[in-house]
């Protein structure tokens, strides 16, 4: 952490000790770095758990872990990846880039910014503690009821239930504070002339995402608090024997859970909408449509939750309604994809690593979108639900969607952060290797699901063996490619070809008007905004 970050801002004006800089900092760039490093560590932890899962599934039979531990791995893998890797990565990117993109000197609430980051390590210590203690022979291990924590199964866990729920509370507090900070920054700290409809799309997507976070994190907190009181204080919110309803939990959870999946993809849409214009050397096509499409997706995300629950036994009217509402999401999402493709049309394209990841994102996220549309169809959903088809679907949108989006963003802005260009050859190797292995990992899972393999099983019929073996090979390949990513980032932080202020020929936006690396303090006086500096030109004309 230290070596990586010390070189970032060699020219900052303060004399700070290591402790002051990295623990007490209220600087948006340093906090952004902390978020990103934390996210990378969690990505590797969650990835290691995924490899335990894939190793057990390499062959039929139970060779490596027992089923109870397997369930802990699937549960913890999801919680760590969602709350530890993907969400903090986006908050880190927001911290670093939003003030630079809107011409603000820092985030609006710097001390809260520090606090919202420093909650996270403690939240994850709590979350991971039952699992760690288990290795020392204490307790029965981590939560094993799946990341959705459906009761009554989740209530069969031991004390780990309390650890998990308090960890989720802390993550929720952190996310809400982060979201408040981002909204306050965007609405109050824009440089004069940076009208809302001149903001970069990344800022727009984060503004909308922040509202989603504030709306749904309390709902999750409520759901898990009810679990907590059911478990330890004798209430019966979800206990049928006490007059409660297990399905109520699912409704409340997915009222959080569906907006949550858009929380994890909208900022990626924003990143891609910055990168494709840069490497097409052409403004984004249909800027305003992109903004409205993002808002529409956010709105729709609140009214489709029960499509995760078609098999719980809903009335006909409800199933039809949730099917139609879900299908509608395809329209604004389609608008986004068409706009990206048209941005490339009549452009002048080059294919540096950020662009490769962005193009990979568009193709593979769209594949995940197709399977999502298929899953929306009730008659077919009865067959897809809770199978590996679903596993394939959400990994296409989350790994080749969100994670590829984050990586595209990291490559894109690394020169601005470090002042050095990353190794382009290694970056391309990382992209092509990751793309090959991630498809080997997840594409065969469509077939497994369609052939009838349920998700979350540690062992399977021999007929499923071949594709599972492919998938495991892909999983390990993808995992090891990410070690290359860590090396590329580390190497770039240490030195290399000096990056110019405008690190990419086609890059537009205020962040490219400050030197690389970005000085410790930027825009202490509001910049004068010229139309040609705007990310997408002056779209209001």
Partner 1 sequence: MKTARPVHALAGLVASFATQAVAATGAQPERWQLNLTPGVTETAQRAYDMHMWMLWICVVIGIVVFGAMAVAIFRFRKSKGAVADKTFVHSTRLEVLWTVIPTLILVVMAVPATIKTIDAHDTRGHEMTVKIIGQQWLWTYEYVGEGVRFTSRLDRDSERIRQSGRVPTLDEHGAYLLDVDRPLVLPTDTKIRFIITADDVIHAWWVPALGWKSDAIPGIVNEQWTKILEPGIYRGQCAELCGKDHGFMPIVVEAVPREEFQMRLAAMRAELDTAARTAATTPAAAPQG
Residues 329-358 that bind partner 1 (CB under 8 A): 330-331, 334-335, 337-338, 341-342, 344-350
C-alpha distance across the termini of the chain, in Å: 45
**Is 251 annotated as catalytic?**
no
Residue with Cβ nearer partner 1 (451 or 486): 451
Q: Does the protein bind partner 1 through residue 532 (CB under 8 A)?
A: no
* 123 binding partner 1? (CB under 8 A): no
97 to 116, contacts with partner 1 by CB under 8 A?
Answer: none
Strand, helix or coil at 498?
Answer: strand
Check binding of 318 to partner 1 (CB under 8 A): no
Map tokens 């998990």 to a residue.
164
Is there binding between residue 139 and partner 1 (CB under 8 A)?
no
- 323 is an interface residue for partner 1 by CB under 8 A: yes
CB of 13 to partner 1, least distance (A): 38
Known active-site residue 511: no
Taking alpha carbons only, the member of 15, 14, 23, 11 closest to residue 2 is 23
Structure tokens at 167: 């960890």
Q: Under rule CB under 8 A, which residues in 149-188 are in contact with partner 1?
A: 150, 152-153, 156
Q: Select from 13, 137, 234, 313 the one that contacts partner 1 (CB under 8 A).
A: 313
For residue 68, state whether it binds partner 1 (rule: CB under 8 A). yes
Q: What is the spatial distance between Cα 465 and Cα 60, in angstroms, rounded to a whole number?
A: 6
Contact between 196 and partner 1 by CB under 8 A: the answer reads no
Is 287 one of the annotated active-site residues of the chain? no
Nearest distance, CB of residue 72 and partner 1, angstroms: 10
Of 139, 454, 477, 519, the one binding partner 1 by CB under 8 A: 454
**Token duo for residue 352:** 């540096």
346 is catalytic: no
316 CB-near residues (< 8 Å, 6+ apart): none
- Segment 494 to 523, residues that bind partner 1, using CB under 8 A: 506
CB of 223 to partner 1, least distance (A): 16
Using the rule CB under 8 A, is 133 a contact of partner 1? no
311 interacts with partner 1 by CB under 8 A: yes
3-class DSSP state for residue 145?
coil
174 as an active site residue: the answer is yes
Residue 174 phi, psi (nearest 5):
-60, -45
Comparison of 346 and 525: residue with beta carbon closer to partner 1: 346
Q: What is the Cα–Cα distance from 437 to 38, expressed in whole angstroms?
A: 25
How long, in residues, is the chain?
541
Tally the C-alpha atoms within 13 A of residue 315's C-alpha that lie toward its C-beta. Answer: 2
Name the 3-class secondary structure at 534: coil
193/151 Cα distance (integer angstroms): 52
Number of other residues whose CB lies within 10 A of the CB of residue 415? 25
Residues of span 356-385 touching partner 1 by CB under 8 A: 359, 362-363, 366-367, 370, 373-374, 377-380, 382-383, 385
Distance CA 284, CA 533 (A): 14
Closest CB to partner 1 among residues 62, 196: 62
From the candidates 28, 258, 393, 502, give the one annotated as an active-site residue. 258
Closer by beta carbon to partner 1, 156 or else 159: 156
Query: Is 175 annotated as catalytic?
Result: yes
Query: For partner 1, which is the closer residue by CB, 185 or 387?
Result: 387
Rounded distance between C-alpha atoms, residue 427 and residue 407, angstroms: 10
Residue 537 in contact with partner 1, rule: CB under 8 A: yes
Query: Alpha helices of 67-200 — where are they, by DSSP H?
Result: 67-79, 87-102, 110-135, 160-188
Helices (H), 419-464: 424-451
Site for partner 1 contains 60 (CB under 8 A): yes
Per CB under 8 A, does 387 bind partner 1? yes
**Residue 535 main-chain phi, psi, to 5 deg:** -60, -35
Minimum CB distance to partner 1, residue 226 (Å): 16
Among residues 121 and 146, whose Cβ is nearest to partner 1? Answer: 146
Token pair, residue 441, equals: 């990992």
**Choice from 285, 396, 485, 504 touching partner 1 (CB under 8 A):** 285
Q: Active site includes 371?
A: no
When the beta carbons of 103 and 506 are compared against partner 1, the nearer one is 506
Q: Any contact of residue 229 with partner 1 (CB under 8 A)? A: no
251, 281, 455, 521: which one is catalytic? 455
* Known catalytic residue at 262: yes
3-class state of residue 212 by DSSP: helix
CA distances from 205 to 91, 199, 293, 540 (A): 12, 10, 10, 18
Q: Which is nearer to partner 1, 395 or 446 (CB)?
A: 446
What DSSP character marks residue 49?
A: H
Q: Are 99 and 523 in contact (CB under 8 A)?
A: yes
Distance CA 86, CA 266 (A): 12
**Residues with catalytic roles:** 77, 106, 147, 174-175, 258, 260, 262, 273, 307-308, 333, 336, 455
């Amino acid at each position: 952490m230290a070596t990586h970050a010390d070189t970032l801002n060699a020219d900052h004006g303060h004399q700070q000790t290591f402790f002051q800089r990295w623990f007490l900092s209220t600087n948006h760039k340093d906090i952004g770095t902390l978020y990103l490093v934390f996210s990378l560590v969690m990505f590797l932890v969650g990835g290691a758990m995924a490899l335990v899962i894939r190793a057990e599934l390499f062959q039929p039979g139970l060779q490596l872990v027992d089923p109870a531990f397997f369930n802990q791995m699937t549960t913890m893998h999801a919680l760590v990846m969602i709350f530890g890797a993907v969400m903090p990565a986006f908050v880190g990117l927001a911290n670093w880039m939003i003030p630079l993109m809107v011409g603000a000197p820092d985030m609006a609430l710097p001390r809260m910014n520090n606090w919202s980051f420093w909650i996270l390590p403690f939240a994850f210590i709590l979350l991971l503690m039952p699992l760690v203690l288990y290795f020392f022979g204490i307790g029965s291990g981590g939560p094993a009821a799946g990341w959705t924590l459906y009761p009554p199964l989740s209530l069969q866990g031991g004390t780990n239930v309390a650890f998990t729920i308090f960890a989720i509370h802390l993550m929720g507090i952190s996310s809400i504070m982060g979201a408040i900070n981002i909204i306050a920054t965007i609405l109050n700290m824009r440089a004069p002339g940076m009208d809302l409809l001149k903001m970069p799309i990344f800022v727009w997507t984060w503004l909308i995402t922040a509202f989603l976070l504030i709306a749904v994190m309390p709902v999750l907190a409520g759901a898990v608090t009810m679990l907590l009181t059911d478990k330890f204080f004798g209430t019966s919110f979800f206990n049928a024997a006490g007059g409660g309803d297990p399905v109520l939990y699912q409704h409340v959870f997915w009222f959080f859970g569906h907006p949550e999946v858009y929380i994890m993809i909208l900022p990626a849409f924003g990143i891609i909408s910055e990168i494709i214009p840069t490497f097409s050397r052409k403004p984004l096509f249909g800027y305003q449509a992109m903004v409205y499409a993002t808002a529409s997706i956010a709105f729709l995300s609140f009214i489709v939750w029960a499509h995760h629950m078609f098999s719980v036994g809903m009335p006909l009217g409800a199933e039809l309604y949730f099917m139609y509402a879900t299908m509608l999401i395809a329209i604004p999402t389609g608008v986004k994809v068409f706009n990206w493709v048209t941005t490339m049309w009549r452009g002048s394209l080059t294919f540096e690593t950020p662009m490769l990841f962005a193009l990979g994102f568009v193709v593979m996220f769209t594949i995940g979108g197709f399977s999502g549309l298929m899953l929306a169809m009730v008659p077919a959903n009865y067959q897809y639900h809770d199978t590996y088809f679903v596993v394939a679907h959400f990994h296409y949108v989350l790994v080749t969607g969100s994670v590829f989006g984050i990586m595209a963003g990291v490559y894109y802005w690394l020169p601005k952060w470090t002042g050095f260009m990353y190794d382009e050859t290694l970056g391309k190797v990382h992209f092509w290797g990751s793309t090959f292995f991630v498809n080997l990992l997840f594409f065969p899972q469509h077939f497994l699901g369609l052939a009838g393999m349920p998700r979350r099983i540690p062992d399977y019929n021999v007929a499923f063996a071949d594709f599972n073996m492919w998938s495991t090979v892909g999983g390990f390949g993808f995992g090891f490619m990410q070690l290359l990513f860590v090396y590329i980032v580390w190497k770039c932080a240490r030195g290399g070809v000096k990056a110019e202020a405008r690190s990419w020929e086609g890059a537009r936006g205020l962040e490219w008007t400050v030197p690389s690396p970005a000085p410790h303090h930027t825009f202490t006086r509001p910049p004068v905004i010229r139309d040609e500096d705007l990310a997408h030109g002056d779209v209001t004309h």
